[in-house]
A and B are shown apart, each in its own frame.
Chain A
Amino acid sequence: MSLVIVRIYHDLLGTYGDQGNAEVLIHRAKARGVDVELVEVTPGMAIPRQGNLYLLGGGEDGPQTASLDLMKEDGGLTAAVQSGATVFAVCAGFQVIGTTLPGHGGKIIDGLGLVDAKTIVNAAPRSVGELVVQPTNKSLPILTGFENHQGLTDIGDGVTPLGQVLSGVGNGFNKTEGVWQGNVIGTYMHGPGLARNPELADAILESALGTKLTSFTDPFAQALANERRSTLIR
């Protein structure tokens, strides 16, 4: 079994440590005997269309707009999603894959439109802190992450959120957090999110590979996930 992971514009969308998600996915995939290739896409490079799993991270406002412009021009990510690839996008990356978002100077601009999600600027102070989420997918345990964003994201009626907020802000509408539409997953959870939620990492790998994975317990990963859950839920 083989897997091609494409990490997009780590230089632009890597401010919040989300590149760790790729390392966690590679580590967990290799533990199941999957051959993994990581493609690092930097500005100026074409985004490959044949990848199985595409990763976008959080970034500052300026680099976010710059990365969106590049992805629109390139078209590779949109084409890959149409062919069934999986996407995991965090924070600024989540906003970019939505329908609209605030661009330079706060003006609302079009996103990539891979999911039905409209982001606006929150007039209240920035949402910063631990985020605890009851996932929509009942086979997953409670998810935890660290959010740090100024935008609020309204996902369309009937669109499945990643989960419901137990504490924190998340999307900021109807207690929803993130999105899970087809094979496209968006979230506000840093941490990195997949380092703190190994079960979510496996669900994303299964979506990208199109098959169930054998079980694998990584003692440090599980201890970290449990420590965060028990500290934040009590």
Chain B
Amino acid sequence: MSRSARLALANMAGGIASYASKKLKVGRGETIKGRVILVIDPKAISKLARDRDIVLVSGTNGKTTTTANLAKILALGTDEEVSTSAHGANMAAGIVATLASKPRNRFVVLECDELYLPTIYNLVAPKVIVLLNLSRDQLHRTGEVRKVAALWQKTFNRDDVTLIIDRDDPFLEFAVMDAGHVIRVTFGGRRHPDAATCPNCSTILDWTLGDYQCKCGLGSKLAQVRGGKGLTGPSRNAILAIEAARLMGAIVPVEYQNELTANPPDRTQVFNIAGRTIETRLAKNPESWRVGLTALAAPQIILALNARGIDGLDTSWLWDINYTELLGKEVICVGERKLDIAYRLSVQGIKVKTADSFAQAVSQFDNRSIEAVASYTAFQDLITTELGISAKRGVTR
């Protein structure tokens, strides 16, 4: 079979599998489609990527939102249709499905898992890679932040791609130290909570006013782009996305740019739970919990915690977060690991109770407003089990 015939067959079979999956309501069809394509044509990713303008987005926090943002800006600023990852599918199957869905689209924006980024970089020959940030994530899976940074550092040693990074992050500066083309964006410098020592040589880093320097030479570099100081993670990511779109040739209207930076979309969804309207935020790791807690305005809060694979199996990180924002509020914890978080909060002097479900928590509150923060699978459980919303709508942005 010729190379193109194999790819065509793979694509057709993938389409059938996707259709069946959607009809049978077992999923969105993307992952199964990708898996079938890869079984029939293991080289499908590089074949489908040929002669296209591809941007990869990776980092610990904000991949899905930034990928969606970037695809939107790029479409708007180039007047072309842009293919992009759906629902955070950021491994091989999801990526091949995205590439296959509209193979004539020139522009493609792909979200990429941190550990999978080197493989996908070599397969798709992207024009631009946006590296958002690196911080502690699910420690049981990715191991240490330093290991991810070192893996990237070994990968980015050619000049066939432009890397856009937040230059205030020492792990990213280390990751691109041998890269040919780097665009550095600074947000005024800020101390990284996981970078007391140098990612390159492990010596204690010298931090002054948010900038760092190591005797090995790694340090805060001159940036080509200045973002505002004191911006939140989502706003910083929006600025990195705008830079990537510009580099791909998009013309980004100033109003759109301002709006996106001021009000970046986040992973918040509004649900009706036991007759109450509750804004619920998805939080996946210490940094996104910090962001989530800062955003809370209601006097009554539900915190939902599980510790299944994607949530992080070890809940120790709960003790790294300062919960001052919750002082004076009423908090009810739910989820499989509600006691881990309830005990943590009680030690900080926060008024806390537990409940067996969101609905039960709601019934313990009065008629003042309620907001919620939930870990990944607790968020999914709320949607699929407690509210009974079909799985295919699952966790979205």
Contacts and interface: CB of A to CB of B under 8 A. Distances in A.
B145 interface: yes
A129 B320 CA distance: 20
Contact of A224 (B204, B319, B339): B339
A127 B194 CA distance: 22
Nearest to B200: A62
Nearest to A227: B339
B319 A192 contact: yes
Given A60-B145, A148-B140, A191 B315 contact: yes
Interface string B182-203: 0000000000001011110111
A157 B199 CA distance: 38
- Grouping DSSP codes into helix (H, G, I), strand (E, B) and loop, the A interface class, with mixed when no group exceeds half, is mixed
A45 interface: no
Chain B: number of interface residues, binned into ranges? 20 to 34
Interface in A163-205: 190-192, 195
Contacts of B317: 16-17
B116 to A, nearest CB: 19
B144 interface: yes
A192 B204 contact: no
B136 A15 contact: yes
A130 B343 CA distance: 19
B331 to A, nearest CB: 12
Interface in B219-265: none
B319 A43 contact: no
B343 A19 contact: no
Please classify how large the interface on chain A is, using the bins under 10, 10 to 19, 20 to 34, 35 or more.
35 or more
Nearest to B320: A17
A190 B198 CA distance: 25
B144 A61 contact: yes
A221 interface: yes
A138 B320 CA distance: 32
A17 B139 CA distance: 11
B316 A63 contact: no
A23 interface: yes
A223 B339 contact: yes
A126 B143 CA distance: 9
Nearest to A130: B313
A70 B314 CA distance: 29
A27 B347 contact: yes
A66 interface: yes
Contacts, number: 96
Contact of A16 (B139, B196, B204): B139
B318 interface: yes
Contacts of A63: 196-197, 202
Contacts of A62: 146, 197-199, 201-202
A217 to B, nearest CB: 13
A135 interface: no
Contacts of A24: 347
B319 A195 contact: yes
B347 A191 contact: no
Contacts of B202: 61-63, 65-66, 104
Contacts of A5: none
Contacts of A104: 202
B56 interface: no
A43 to B, nearest CB: 5
Given A60-B144, A62-B202, A221 B343 contact: yes
Contact of B343 (A12, A126, A224): A224
Given A17-B319, A146-B316, A220 B139 contact: no
Contacts of A14: 320
Contact of A66 (B139, B203, B346): B203
Contacts of A227: 339
Interface in A14-68: 14-20, 23-24, 27, 43, 60-63, 65-66
Contacts of B143: 126
Contacts of B348: 23
Contacts of B136: 15
Contact of B139 (A12, A130, A148, A218): A148
Contacts of A61: 144, 146, 202
Nearest 8 pairs between A and B by C-beta?
A20-B319, A17-B316, A62-B202, A11-B196, A220-B343, A146-B314, A224-B339, A60-B144
Interface of A: 11-12, 14-20, 23-24, 27, 43, 60-63, 65-66, 70, 104, 126, 128-130, 146, 148, 190-192, 195, 218, 220-221, 223-224, 227
11 contacts: A12-B197, A15-B194, A17-B314, A19-B320, A70-B204, A130-B313, A146-B316, A195-B319, A220-B346, A220-B352, A224-B340
